[in-house]
């Protein structure tokens, strides 16, 4: 897997995951939407840690700069 996520993208995903977790664990959101956001937050954290988003790969997107040898 080649990296396809830039630093800003990773930071935004981590911040959103933290917000989702806070909303969930404080009981601000409940029910199905709460579980969906919690799962989405976990996915955001995982993709941020590995710097790879499968959806970006499918659509040919990348938010990180190309390595010098790929230009």
| 3-class state of residue 5 by DSSP | coil
The pLDDT, as a whole number, for residue 35 is 96
Give the span between the Cα atoms of 17 and 39, in whole angstroms.
9
| pLDDT tens per residue, range 11-64 | 999 999 999 999 999 999 999 999 999 999 999 999 999 999 999 999 999 998
Reading the block at residue 5, the tokens are 């996520």
Give the span between the Cα atoms of 50 and 46, in whole angstroms.
6
Contacts for 32-35 with beta carbons within 8 Å, 24 or more apart?
none
Give the span between the Cα atoms of 23 and 53, in whole angstroms.
24
Indicate the pLDDT class of residue 69, thresholds 50, 70 and 90. low
Domain locations in the chain?
A: 12-61
């Amino acid at each position: 897997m080649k990296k396809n996520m830039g630093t800003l993208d990773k930071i935004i995903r981590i911040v959103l995951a933290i917000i989702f977790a806070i909303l969930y664990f404080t009981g601000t959101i409940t029910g199905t939407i709460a579980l969906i956001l919690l799962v989405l937050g976990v996915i955001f954290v995982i993709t941020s840690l590995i710097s790879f988003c499968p959806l970006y790969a499918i659509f040919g997107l990348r938010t990180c700069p190309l390595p010098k040898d790929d230009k």
